[in-house]
């Protein structure tokens, strides 16, 4: 009997989630490397086109359409806007800043979702989750350190990325439930293509013809992203959310290792402390919310549309 088959459903789900986060960290490393030689608008447009084709194939296999009128729902369009803002902010932060700091700030997303749900949806949030939000934001401030010599304005792009992804996931909650998640993902990635072209027109930065190494890295970005997404879906379907959710924060650990090995980054103590605060607070908030959902209704075993990867 193999190790995989000998694990419980939660054990396999936790392992799948950790694997997904490792693949996403490698995907981020490819993206950061590509930004050194390719305009951001071109990178967004090309990866958007490739990812849209992947989800199109997934839809064809299931006998579902790439486009339906449901994608014109105002919240579906708003979700696309959030995806574009989030991707542009995140990739720009990778290009101008460090992988470790960018990945750490990205992990505050579950806490901004708690805040957004309370402010815009009137969701009741107990003092424990409010405390976790405050601790997580304190961690962001430790990483940014505004007003000090250690402040790097490039990290504000990562904050912009979190704001965009928060908008994306909040809008997702208001989209009719019958819309397939792969269709929403294909639509969002497809929107990257015209968005990238608009950025090119505004910025005036010319496109580059990828060489063999760049094509290989683009292929690696796509492969790691798709495999990571597949592992994420697997984890979300076979495991309990309250058990699996905190394993999302393994992405930060993988990012720190990749940043050290590939880019020679040496995060200082305040940055590591901030990352630890974000991971601890965010992990608790996700565990708490998953536990509340489990008590309020049966576990559905399906992945929410907002769970698609960033890139």
**How do residues 255-301 score in pLDDT, each as one tens digit?**
999 999 999 999 999 999 999 999 999 988 888 777 776 666 544 43
- CA quadruple 210, 36, 225, 215: dihedral, nearest 10: 20
pLDDT in tens, 94-109: 999 999 999 999 999 9
Do residues 103 and 28 touch, judged by C-beta distance below 8 A? yes
pLDDT for position 213: 96
pLDDT in tens, 219-256: 999 999 989 988 988 888 888 877 787 888 999 999 99
pLDDT for position 296: 66
| Separation of CA 139 from chain center | 19
Do residues 28 and 221 touch, judged by C-beta distance below 8 A? no
3 state SS of 262: helix
What are the structure tokens assigned to 60, written together? 């064809």
Q: Please compute the mean of the pLDDT values over residues 63-82 and round it to a whole number.
A: 94
pLDDT for position 287: 81
What are the structure tokens assigned to 59, written together? 């839809």
Residue with tokens 């979300």: 236
- The answer to whether residue 9 scores a pLDDT higher than 90 is no
Alpha carbon distance 230, 227 (integer Å) = 5
The per-residue DSSP string of 104-149 comes to HHHTTHHHHHHHHHHHHS-----HHHHHHHHHHHHHHHHHH-TTST
What are the structure tokens assigned to 310, written together? 């960033």
pLDDT band at 4 (very low <50, low <70, confident <90, very high): low
Q: Please compute the mean of the pLDDT values over residues 113-117 and round it to a whole number.
A: 93
**Of 29, 155, 166, 147, whose CA–CA distance to 104 is shortest?**
155
Least confident among 1-5, 11-15, 19-23, 115-119: 1-5
**Of 195, 246, 220, whose CA–CA distance to 29 is shortest?**
220
Helix H segments across the chain?
Answer: 3-6, 9-34, 40-61, 74-96, 99-106, 109-120, 127-144, 155-172, 181-203, 212-238, 241-244, 250-263, 269-296
pLDDT for position 303: 40
Alpha carbon distance 50, 57 (integer Å) = 11
Q: Please compute the mean of the pLDDT values over residues 28-43 and round it to a whole number.
A: 96
Tell me 178's DSSP state. T
pLDDT in tens, 121-174: 998 888 899 999 999 999 999 999 998 888 999 999 999 999 999 999 999 999
The helix or strand, by DSSP H or E, that contains position 162, with its residue range, turns out to be helix 155-172
Alpha carbon distance 135, 112 (integer Å) = 12
pTM of the model: 0.89
pLDDT for position 100: 95
């Amino acid at each position: 009997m193999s190790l995989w088959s000998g694990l419980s459903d939660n054990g396999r789900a936790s392992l799948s989630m950790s694997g997904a986060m490792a693949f996403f960290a490698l995907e981020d490393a490819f993206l950061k490397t590509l930004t050194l030689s390719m305009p951001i608008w071109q990178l967004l447009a090309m990866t958007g086109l490739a990812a849209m084709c992947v989800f199109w194939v997934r839809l064809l296999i299931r006998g579902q359409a790439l486009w339906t009128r449901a994608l014109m729902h105002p919240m579906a369009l708003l979700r696309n806007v959030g995806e574009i803002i989030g991707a542009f902010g995140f990739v720009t932060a990778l290009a101008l800043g460090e992988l470790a700091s960018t990945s750490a700030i990205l992990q505050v997303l579950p806490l901004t979702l708690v805040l957004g749900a309370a402010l815009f949806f009137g969701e009741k949030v107990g003092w424990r989750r409010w405390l976790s939000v405050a601790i997580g934001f304190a961690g962001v401030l430790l990483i940014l350190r505004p007003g000090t010599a250690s402040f790097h304005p490039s990290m504000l792009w990562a904050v912009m990325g979190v704001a965009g992804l928060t908008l994306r996931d909040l809008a997702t909650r208001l989209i009719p439930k019958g819309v397939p998640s792969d269709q929403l993902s294909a639509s969002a990635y497809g929107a990257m293509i015209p968005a990238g072209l608009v950025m090119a027109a505004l910025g005036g930065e010319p496109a580059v013809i990828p060489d063999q190494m760049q094509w290989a890295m683009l292929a690696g970005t796509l492969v790691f992203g798709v495999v990571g997404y597949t592992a994420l879906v697997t984890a979300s379907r076979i495991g309990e959310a309250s058990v699996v959710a905190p394993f999302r924060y393994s992405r930060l650990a993988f990012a720190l290792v990749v940043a050290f090995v590939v880019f020679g980054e040496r995060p200082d103590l305040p940055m590591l402390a901030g990352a630890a605060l974000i991971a601890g607070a965010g992990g608790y908030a996700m565990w708490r919310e998953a536990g509340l959902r489990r008590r309020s209704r049966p576990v559905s075993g399906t992945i929410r549309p907002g769970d698609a990867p960033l890139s």
